[in-house]
Structure 1
C-alpha cells in the first residue's frame, strides 16, 4: 500500500517559515553592511577637503573645497541621468569627481537589481563599481576583460556574467552623469559645436568619391617615423598584400556617400540600424596590416583602431552590418579583405566639423613576456561639402533596450518560432489530438527539454512574481514601456502569456513555458522510471493546499507597495533564481531549498507548482477571464467514466469529470484519451446503456 502524506500542512509551513527567515536574515545583514560601508567611504573621497559647499539647485551637485579652492564635486546620478535597470528602477550612485575629470569615489546609494540582491550578492556589484575609481572620464572606457597587448590608451573594466543588463545600465549611468557634470563644471570638457550631414544625392562613381575626398585613404602622418618603423612593421604582416597599409574610410551615413556606395536599399537599412544623432564610419582594408586585429569579434570595439578628437578618445563599435547580409555595393571597385562599419554614439561628444585622429595601435612581442606597442595616427577631417555646420541639441544615444534586442536576435528568433508553434498547436488542439495519440509523450518531452535548456538556462527566460511587482508598480507610478523592453526574452514571454491567458488559461505557461515547472516534470519522469512510489494526498488535503499559494501572492504584492526590498526578499519563496538563473551556484541554504522542492516533486507530482507558486496563483486569477474552454468533455465523463480523473497527474479533473482550468497545465493528455477509442470507454458505457434500455422494453407477443 502506498504511504499517505499525513502532515502536509505542518511540513509546508515549517518549510516556508524557514526559507523566509533565512532570506530575511541575509537580506537585512547585507543591507546593514552596505549602509555602514557607504557611510565610511563617503568621507574618504577627498581626504584633503576642508568644507563642502551648497548643492547646486538644478542638479544637486555639491562642490568640495580645500580652504577656498574647489577640488572636486560630489553628486547623485539620479539627479543627472535616468537609465532604468532590469528591475525597472534606476541604480542611484554617489560619485565624486575631481577637477581633472578623475573619478575619486563611488557609493551605491540604492538599487533593486534582483541578480545582485538575491542572486550573485552585493560583492560582485561593489567590485564592479570599484573598477571606475581613479579613471579619467575623457579616456576611452570599455566593459570587457583586460588582457596584455590591448591599447594602452583604452581603459577596460571587467563585466559580470549573468548581469549584462545591470552592468550596462551602471556603466552608462556612471559615465553619463560624470560627463554631464564635467561639461557643466570643468574646463576642457565643454560640448563642441556639432554639424549636421547635408541631405541630397547625386550619382557618383567610386573614383569621383575619392577625388572629392568623400572616400579618403589613411596613412600615418609622420612619414619619417613610419619609415623608421617600417622594418619592424614588416614582421606584423598578416597576409601577402603588396602594400603594408591600404586603408580607406568614409562617412557612410552621408546620403551622398552611402547611397553611391551601398545603393538605396542598403543605405536605408543602414539608417534603420542607427539611432538619431549617431555617426557611421566605413572602414576598408586591403593591405598587409588591417585596421582590426586578426581575432577581432564582430559587434565589439576594436583594440587596434581608435579615434581621438580634442585629445579625448571617441568610443567606436562595429555594428556588425554584414552579419546576416552579404557585402553589396552599387559600384564595382577593387575587393577589400575587411569591410566594416563602425558606430559612434550620439553622446560621445564627436564633432563632425572638427578634425579628428584615426589611430592604429599595433603590438609586437620581442620576447614571450614583453609586448611593445606602436601607435600610428593621421589627423583627418570630413569633407566640408558633406556637412552643414549647426548646433544639434537633444541628440540621444541608441536606447539601451534597442541595443539589447539587437544583441539577442538569434534567441528572439528561436523563441518566436517556438511561441508560434505553441499558438498553432493550441488553436487546433481538437484537430491535432487524434493525430497525437501515443506520440504526445514525445512531443511533450521535447518541449520540456527545450523549455529547461534554451528558455531557462540559456536565454534566462524564467518569469517570476518579481515581474508582477514591476508591472503593478509601473502602472501605479507611471508606465514606461522601455523598462520592460530591457529583456527581450522576458518581454516576448510575458506578451505571449498575457494573450494566452484569455484564450486558454494559465496552463499554456505553466505546462509549456515555465523552465522550473518543466524541470519538475522531468524529475517526475525520472521518478516514474525508478518506480518511486508516490505519496497519496487526500482530496480534502489537496484542495486545502491548492489555496495556500493565493495568500502568498497577496502578501507579496501588498509588500511590494510597502517595501519593495522586503518584497523582493520574500520572493525567495520562488526557487527560480537559484535553480534556473544561478544554475544552483549560490549560497547553500538557497540551493538546499531548491533541491528539496525538486526532491518533493519525485513523491508528489509538481509539488511546488500545485501548492506554493505565487506566480501560478497570479496567472490563475487572470486565467479566470479566459474566453474559451477548449478541453472537450462528454456526458459520461465522471459518471460513470473516471479514466481522465485517474490519469490527470496534476489533479485538475474532478471526480465528476469537470476540468479546473485554474490548476490545469494543459498537458492535453485528457484530450488525447477522449479521442482514443482504445482508451476512452464512454462509447462502451453508451452501448451498454442502450442495451439495458432495449431489454427493459416489454415485448408484446401476438396471439
Structure 2
C-alpha cells in the first residue's frame, strides 16, 4: 500500500514542472511606448502618420496624408476598472472621427483564466468584434448562438465562454474609455446632471392637450412609407395607404402626464414601488399591425424594436411589465390602442428628462438565412417644457459600480443559486429527517450533487478556488479594492455562504456538497463501486501523516502570493478545478493528464485529492477549526467495539476510537444514515434482536 501511494506521489511531482512551464508561457506583456505607432498602424492600416500623443486629452491623432482620420488612446488613461484578478486591463483603442470603433488591442492584463487557462486567443477573438460598432450605442454580451445581433435596436457581441466576468469588465473598459475620450475630443457632447421632476407641479390634462402640446408625440407610418424606405426611394406625397403603425409616446414621471394617463393609484404605485430613485418611465401606446414588441419579446427585457437616444448616445429601455398583475385604469377620453407598454430607464443611464431625446422604431426584414436582416429606423423627437423640472447645469457622472451592473445582468443565475443554497440549508437543518431513510437520503444527496456539478460548476462557473483566497488576502492587505470581491456574483455568494457554514459547522458543507470537483470524485468512487474495484485502505498511521501535505501546500502558496500573485496562481494549478470544471478538460495535455491521474487515483483511494492535496480544503479546515456545532450523532459503542462507521467513512475522518475529526469531515451524513438504520448500526441490530439496548446519544468528537 505504501509503495502504491509513493508511485502516485512521484507521478504528480513529475507533472508539476510541466504545468508551471505551461502557465509561464502565457503572460501578456505590456507593449513598449516606442512600439505604439506600429500597434496603431495595425488598427489604422491606411494611416501615413501617427502624431505624438497629446496631453489633453491623452490621444494619438492619426493622419492619412493631411487628413485626420481618427484617434488612438489607452483605456488606462480614462478608466481603471479592476478585472477578476484585481488589476485593470490596458487596452489600445482606435476610433474614427464619426465615433466608430476601428479596433481594440489588449496590451496588458492579469486575468488568470487567460494567463493560465484559456490562453490569449479567445480574448483576441472577442476584441475583433468591435471594428464597425458605434461608441454611442450600448454594447451587450450575448451567446454566440444568437443570430442577427444587429437587427434590432440593441447591439450584441459574442461573449467568452468560461470567462463571463472577465469579458464584461473588458467590454465596460472599452465603452467607458471610448465615451470619455470622444467627449473630450468633442465627437459627442457632454451630458449635464439630469434634471429633477417637480413633484409639486400638476396641471389639468386630457388626451387632446397631451397631443396638442406635444407632451405625447406621435409616430405614424403607412405601409407605403415603410416599403419606400426599404427600397431606398422617397415616399409618395401625400402619404396614403394602409396603416403600418400609429404610436404615441410620453414621459410618465411628470405628475401632469403620469397621473392623467395612469390614474392616481397606478401613478403612485409606479413612482413608489416600480421605480428606484433616479429612474424614469415612458409609456408607448400603439395601434396598427406592426407590434412594438414582436413575437419573440420576453417580458421585463429590453425591446429590440424600440430605441431611445439622447445626445447621440443610445439609452437602454427595459420593459416594466406594469399591467401583468393589475387591470389598467386608462382615462375615458383615451383612444383605443392595441398595445400599452411602460418602459424603465435606469438611473445609471444618465438620462436627462429636461433635454431633447428621440424615440426610434426599428423595422427589420429578413433577407434569407445566410444574409443579415435589413433594418430601417423611423424616429420622433421629444421635449417637455422646462417648467416641469428643476434643472442643473453641472456635468453628469455615472457612478454605478461595475459589480452592480454585473449582478443585475446575472439576476436569473443568482436567483437559481440562492434557491439551491436555501435547499441545502433545509437539508442541513432537517438532516435527521433526511438520514432517517437510506433510500430517501441517497436520492436527495445525489440530486443535490448533480445540481452542484451541472449548475454551480459548468453553467455558472462557480467552482471556488484557492486563488479566490489570494484575492481576499490582497484586499485585506490593502493592495486592491474590496469591490473586486463582488465582480463575480456566484463566487461572492458562495463565499459568503461557505464562510457562514464554516463558522457554524466547519469545512464539510463546501467540501461535501458545494464543490463541483468534489462531486466528480464522488462519481468516480461510485463508478469504482459499480465496477467492483476494491478501495485501497491506507494504514491509519500513514494516512494521519500524509493528510498534513495539503496544509504544507496551502502555507507555501499563501507565502508566495504576497511576493508574486502570478507565481502563486501558477502554483495553484495543484488544484485541478480549472482543468476539470472551468475548462471542461479542453486544455494542454499536462493539465489533462494531471487531472486524469487524480481522478484515476480516486478509483482506488476514495477522494484522493481531497484527502491529501487540496489547499482550499486545508484553508477551510483552518478557518473552520473553532466552529460552533459538532452535531453528528455518536454512541458509546462507536469505536468500541463497533468499527462500522470507521470503515465506511470514505474520507477517513473517523478515527478507530470512533471520534470524528471535523477538520477532515465533509458532512456527507453517511455515518448518520448508518446510525439511524437498524439493519446497519450494530447497537440497533442488537437491540432489535433483544441482545442489548444501545447507549444514549453522545457527542464524541475531537
TM-score normalised to the size of structure 2? Answer: 0.83
CA contact (8 A) 1:160 1:167 kept: yes
Alignment of 1:232-243 (within 5 A): 243=243
> How far off is 1:180 after superposition?
1.2
Cα distance change, pair 135–427 in 1 and its aligned pair in 2 (3 A): closer
Q: How far apart are 1:664 and its partner, in Å?
A: 0.5
Match of 2:361 in 1: 360
Aligned pairs for 1:18-57 (under 5 A) are: 18=15, 20-31=16-27, 39=35, 41-42=38-39, 44=41, 47-49=47-49, 51-53=51-53, 55=55
Deviates more, 1:36-45 or 1:552-561: 36-45
CA contact (8 A) 1:53 1:65 kept: no
Report the equivalent of 1:520. Answer: 521
Q: Is the 8 A contact 1:306 1:313 kept in 2?
A: no
Indicate the SS of the match to 1:219: strand
2:274 equivalent to 1:263:
no
1:352 CA drift (Å): 3.0
Paired residue for 1:617?
Answer: 618
Alpha-carbon offset, residue 289 of structure 1: 1.2
User: 2:86, 2:480 within 8 Å by CA — same for their partners in 1?
Assistant: no
Instruction: Report the CA distance shift for 1:329/1:222 in structure 2 as closer, same or farther (over 3 A).
Output: closer
Kindly provide the CA deviation profile for residues 136-189 of structure 1, in whole angstroms up to 9, marking residues without a partner as x: 424564445685594599765333233332222212211211221222233553
Q: Cα distance 1:53–1:172, how it changes in 2: closer, same or farther (>3 A)?
A: closer
- Aligned equivalent of 2:5, options 8, 26, 35: 8
Deviation at 1:511, TM superposition (A): 0.7
- Displacement after TM superposition at 1:621 (Å): 0.4
CA contact (8 A) 2:191 2:396 kept: no
Contact 1:209–1:257 (CA<8 Å) still a contact in 2?
A: no
- Correspondence for 2:674: 673
CA contact (8 A) 1:42 1:105 kept: no
Shift of 1:129: 1.9
- CA distance 1:364–1:415, shift in 2 (3 Å): closer
Q: Give the whole-Å Cα distance in 1 for the aligned partners of 2:499 and 2:249.
A: 48
Question: Residues 455-488 of structure 1, C-alpha deviation per residue, up to 9 Å, x if partnerless?
Answer: 2222322111111111111111267553333322
Does 2:174 align with 1:174?
yes
- Return closer, same or farther for 1:323/1:506 CA change in 2, 3 Å cut-off: farther
Paired position in structure 1 for 2:391: 389
Following the alignment from structure 2 to structure 1, what is the Cα–Cα distance between the partners of residues 207 and 484? 48
Question: Any idea what SS the aligned residue of 1:263 has?
Answer: helix
Shift of 1:376: 2.3
Change in CA separation of 1:390 and 1:200 when aligned onto 2, cut-off 3 Å: same
SS in 2 for 1:245: strand
Deviation of the 1:499 alpha carbon: 0.8
Would the alpha carbon gap of residues 636 and 576 (structure 1) be closer, same or farther in structure 2, given more than 3 Å must change?
same
In structure 1, the residue matched to 2:655 is 654
Out of 100, 104, 107, which is 2:105 matched to?
A: 107
| Structure 2: distance between partners of 1:211 and 1:54 | 50
Matches of residues 266-285 of structure 1 in structure 2 within 5 Å? 266-272=270-276, 276=278, 278-285=279-286
- Contact 1:621 1:662 survives alignment (8 Å): yes
Deviation, structure 1 residue 527 = 1.5
CA deviation profile, 1:251-307 (whole Å, cap 9, x unmatched): 2344554455233234323223x7x4x544332333211233433455655443233
Contact kept in structure 2, 1:50 and 1:65, CA below 8 Å: yes
Are 2:222 and 2:244, in contact at CA under 8 Å, matched by a contact in 1? Answer: no
Tell me how far apart the structure 1 counterparts of residues 435 and 573 of structure 2 sit (CA, whole Å).
Answer: 42
> Residues 68 and 93 of structure 1: is their aligned pair in 2 closer, same or farther, counting only changes over 3 Å?
same
What residue is the counterpart of 2:320 in the other structure?
321
Q: What residue is the counterpart of 2:597 in the other structure?
A: 596
Report how far residue 679 of structure 1 moved: 3.0
**Residues 1:216 and 2:216 are matched in the alignment:** yes
Over residues 333-373 of structure 1, what are the superposed CA-to-partner deviations in whole Å (9 max), with x where a residue is unaligned?
Answer: 67755454445465656543333332223234588869654
Equivalent in 115, 118, 124 of residue 117 of structure 1: 115
Deviations 1:540-562 (CA, angstroms, capped at 9, x unpaired) = 33223211111211222222222
Cα distance change of structure 1 residues 478 and 654 upon mapping to structure 2, 3 Å threshold: same
Matching of residues 356-505 of structure 1 within 5 Å: 356-364=357-365, 372-396=374-398, 398-429=400-431, 431-432=432-433, 435-437=436-438, 439-477=440-478, 480-505=481-506
Residue in 2 that maps onto 1:699: none
Q: In structure 2, what is the Cα distance between the partners aligned to 1:366 and 1:503?
A: 61
Checking the alignment, whether the CA contact within 8 Å between 2:24 and 2:570 is kept in structure 1 is no
Contact 1:214 1:383 (C-alpha < 8 Å) held by counterparts: no
Query: 1 CA distance for matches of 2:325 and 2:34?
Result: 52
Give the drift of 1:125.
Answer: 0.7
SS at match of 2:360: strand
CA contact under 8 A between 2:365 and 2:373: conserved in structure 1? yes
Shift of residue 515 of structure 1? 1.4
Runs of 5+ consecutive residues of structure 1 not aligned to the other structure: 234-240, 691-703
Query: Residues of 1 paired with 2:558 and 2:347: CA distance?
Result: 40
- 1:124-139 equivalences under 5 Å are 124-133=122-131, 135-138=133-136
Listed as ranges, the gaps of 5+ residues in structure 2 are 234-240, 694-702
Counterparts of 1:444 and 1:140, CA distance in 2? 44
Measure, in 1, the Cα distance between the counterparts of 2:489 and 2:483. Answer: 11
CA distance in 1, matches of 2:601, 2:452: 21
In structure 1, the residue matched to 2:699 is none
- Partners of 1:128 and 1:230 lie apart in 2 by 32
Q: How far apart, CA to CA, are the structure 2 residues paired with 1:382 and 1:32? A: 51
Please say if residues 183 and 189 of structure 1, whose CA atoms lie closer than 8 Å, have aligned partners that are also in contact: yes
Deviates more, 1:401-410 or 1:552-561: 401-410
CA shift in 2, pair 1:120/1:644, >3 Å: same
State whether residues 506 and 619 of structure 1, in contact with CA within 8 Å, keep that contact through their aligned partners in structure 2: yes
Counterparts of 2:636 and 2:76, CA distance in 1: 63
**How much has 1:222 moved relative to structure 2?**
11
- Corresponding residue of 1:697: none
**8 Å contact kept, 1:199–1:256:** no
1:53–1:416: structure 2 CA closer, same or farther, 3 Å change rule? closer
Task: Provide the residue aligned with 2:509 in structure 1.
Answer: 508
- Inter-CA distance 322–308: structure 2 relative to 1 (3 Å threshold): closer
TM-score scaled by length of structure 1:
0.83
